[in-house]
Structures are given as C-alpha cells and as structure tokens.
Amino acid sequence: MIILLELRNPVNILISSAGRRVELLECFRRAAVELRLDLKVYAVDANPQMSSACQQADNAWEVPRCTHPDYIPTLFALCKREKIRLVIPTIDTELEILASVTDQFKSIGTRILVSNLETIRMARNKAATCCFLDQIGIPTPKTGTVDELLGEPTEWNWPVILKPTNGSCSVGLHFAENPREVENFAIDRTKYIAQEVWQGKEYTINVFFDSKGVLRCAVPHWRCETRGGEVSKGITQRNPVLMTIAVKLADALRGKAFGPICFQAIVDNSGKAAVFEINARFGGGYPLADRAGGTFAKWLIEEAFGLPSSAHNNWNDGVTMLRYDAAVFFNAPF
C-alpha cells in the first residue's frame, strides 16, 4: 500500500546524452502508460537545443560534456533537485564515469543504470572484449594489434578490418585486402586493433539483466541494413546458436552486468557464429526488441519503483523494423 501511495505522485527518470534517442524515450513512455504511472521523462545533453530527444522530453537541460570535470556535479545537482529516480546513459564514453559515482547518486535515491566497472572497461576496449570472449569459450574473429598483423600477414585470413580500440558507432573503420593497404592507412597503429572479417549475416542481440545481475531476456535481430553504424532495417530471429551464446555470456557476467547490454555477432552460411563487440548500454536498435515484447524499459521502471517484475523471454519472432527519417519542429530562441 505504501508503494501505491508513492506512485500516485509523478515519478521522474532522466536520459543522459539524449541526442537523437527519441524512440528510446517513447519506449519508457509507453511502459508508463501500461503500468498506469505518471512518469516524467527528462533529458540532458551538451547541446539540448539541437537534440531531438531533448525537444521531445518533458523537460531538458544543458550539461557539460561527460568528460568535463563539472559533468558529475551538474548532473548530481539536477538529479537531487528534480528527484530523479533512474538515470539512463546512452553513449559509451559516459559509462565508466557514471559507474564510478553510483554510490554518490544512490545517497539521493537515484539509480544510475550501469554495469560494474570491470564489465564496462572490458566492453569499451575491443581487444579486451575479444580476450574475454576467448577466455569464456565464445567464438570471436581472430584479433590482434596492427603490428602483429603486419609482422605475420600470412597467418591471417584476409580481408581484415582495423578498428579504433575504444571506438563506437562504426567511426574510424578501415578495411584492407592486403598488408600494403594497411601500411598506407594514416592512423595511429597503437590505438587500433586488427580483426579478421567474417562473412555472413550480422546480428545484434539485446539482453536484459535484472538488478541482481541475472539474465532475464535475450532478443537477437538480424541487421538487414545499417546506416551510420545503426540498424535501419531489422528482423527479430530466435536463432538457437545466438540464444546459447547469450546464456553463456550471461553466466560469465552474472552479478556484473545490470540492465540492458547488447552484443554483435556474425552468423556464417554454415550456421556458425562469432561475437565481435559488446556494448554495456541500450543499443541503437533496442526499440525493435521492445516492440517484439522484450520491454526492458518497462522492467526497469518496475525495478526502480518497487513493482513486481514482469520480465520474461517470450518475445515475438519475425517482428520487422523499417526505420525512416522523421523531424522535430520548434521555434528556436536564437
């Protein structure tokens, strides 16, 4: 009864580095309607006037970039003033910073939706990710330093892809058919990894860990088409190989991962899969999982506000997402 009384008042969550994450914002709103909660979805960004998600939020504020020393004090003061119950990070660069201050925010009743530092640091470093996957027996493409690639080029299956070690959103990728092409790239080799290119269908698997770090749901979708590193056309598929990998990954991360994470894999024509990336946050294609019945947003609200969890793994196969451009219009104050 105490919980019901509390939930009659507006409850507040905040999406950080909101950018273009309008679809994510709407997932939380739909969940609140289903749960009959008066939910306010707020947002922050370094440039909220030019953020479509901030324009669609119930309110939005400007904050320093997450790497600025004033970011955490500003965010903390805002969460305290607005009685924010849950902070949802959306970009890789803020995860480690936020994971280091979870206890500070917990003291004012704010939960930051992040996994532990060990998990975040592993996922942020692509070389560490592949090493972790090897250690727990999950197949991954052959990976090494650029110098290792050039030192023994005949030991690699070409083509290869060069990736920034701490990159995201497909920024800074280079494909090479032979060693000469690698040598001609104008890059800092110490900040890149080399990886063999697998041929096949590319998948993202959105997984949900509850507040105890236990896997509750895994939703693979085939990335039929991508644009700017994000899926633009996708179909949910209950691929048994990927579902098995999700369980194996979850066993290794049990008690270390919380909320949503996603991993990317290639499934070749023989049905074999290799995982090549882990993101310890909501993936850009999460709205597809949500629409299929993997309603992570709803389950997070239930956890944050002490409601019984309805988390499950009975989502719908074959749900298709075809993204298109939409616009937000408003009168600028400048």
pLDDT tens digits along 237-271: 999 999 999 999 999 999 999 999 999 999 999 99
Provide the pLDDT for residue 170: 66
Provide the pLDDT for residue 228: 77
Same domain, 24 and 74: yes
Which among 170, 196, 222 is the end of a domain? 196
Query: What is the average pLDDT across 25-35?
Result: 97
Q: Does residue 130 sit within a domain?
A: no
* Chain CA centroid to CA 138, Å: 20
Same domain, 149 and 259: no
CATH number reported for the structural domain that contains residue 257 in this entry: 3.30.470.20
- Residue 1 banded pLDDT, cuts 50, 70, 90: very low
Same domain, 162 and 182: yes
pLDDT reading at 182 higher than 80: yes
Half-sphere exposure of 314 (CA within 13 A, CB side): 3
Q: What is the pLDDT of residues 2-14, one digit of tens each?
A: 344 344 567 899 9
Same domain, 71 and 148: no
Q: What is the distance between the alpha carbons of residues 247 and 78, in angstroms, rounded to a whole number?
A: 38
Which among 179, 196, 213 is the end of a domain? 196
Q: Say how many Å lie between the first and final Cα of the chain, rounded.
A: 48
Residue 214 CA: distances (Å) to CA of 92, 286, 297: 22, 19, 16
Same domain, 219 and 152: no
Same domain, 313 and 206: yes
Which among 92, 113, 134 is the end of a domain? 113
Percent of the chain whose predicted confidence (pLDDT) is above 70:
96
Q: Does residue 281 sit within a domain?
A: yes
Q: Does residue 257 sit within a domain?
A: yes
Provide the pLDDT for residue 186: 87
The number of distinct structural domains making up the chain is: 3
Q: Is the distance from CB of 259 to CB of 201 less than 8 angstroms?
A: no
Same domain, 301 and 235: yes
Provide the pLDDT for residue 3: 44
Q: Does residue 213 sit within a domain?
A: yes
pLDDT reading at 224 higher than 60: yes
Q: What is the pLDDT of residues 82-110, one digit of tens each?
A: 999 999 999 999 999 999 999 999 999 99
Q: Does residue 34 sit within a domain?
A: yes
- Residue 296 banded pLDDT, cuts 50, 70, 90: very high
Of the two residues 325 and 42, the one the predictor is more confident about is 42
Q: Does residue 275 sit within a domain?
A: yes
CATH number reported for the structural domain that contains residue 107 in this entry: 3.40.50.20
Q: Does residue 330 sit within a domain?
A: no
Same domain, 165 and 233: no
Provide the pLDDT for residue 10: 72
- Residue 168 banded pLDDT, cuts 50, 70, 90: low
Provide the pLDDT for residue 9: 60
Query: What is the average pLDDT across 176-192?
Result: 91
pLDDT reading at 127 higher than 70: yes
pLDDT reading at 76 higher than 80: yes
What's the domain range around 204? Answer: 119-124+199-322
- Burial state string for 163-186 with b = 16 or more CB within 10 A and e = fewer than 16: bbeebbeeeeebebeebeebeeee
- pTM of the entire structure? 0.92
Q: What is the distance between the alpha carbons of residues 134 and 32, in angstroms, rounded to a whole number?
A: 40
Same domain, 208 and 317: yes
Percent of the chain whose predicted confidence (pLDDT) is above 90:
87
Q: Does residue 133 sit within a domain?
A: no
Same domain, 160 and 226: no
Same domain, 19 and 104: yes
Mean pLDDT, the chain, integer: 93
Query: What is the average pLDDT across 320-325?
Result: 94
Maximum separation of any 2 CA atoms in the chain, in Å: 70
Q: What is the pLDDT of residues 107-121, one digit of tens each?
A: 999 999 999 999 999
Same domain, 155 and 214: no
pLDDT reading at 188 higher than 70: yes
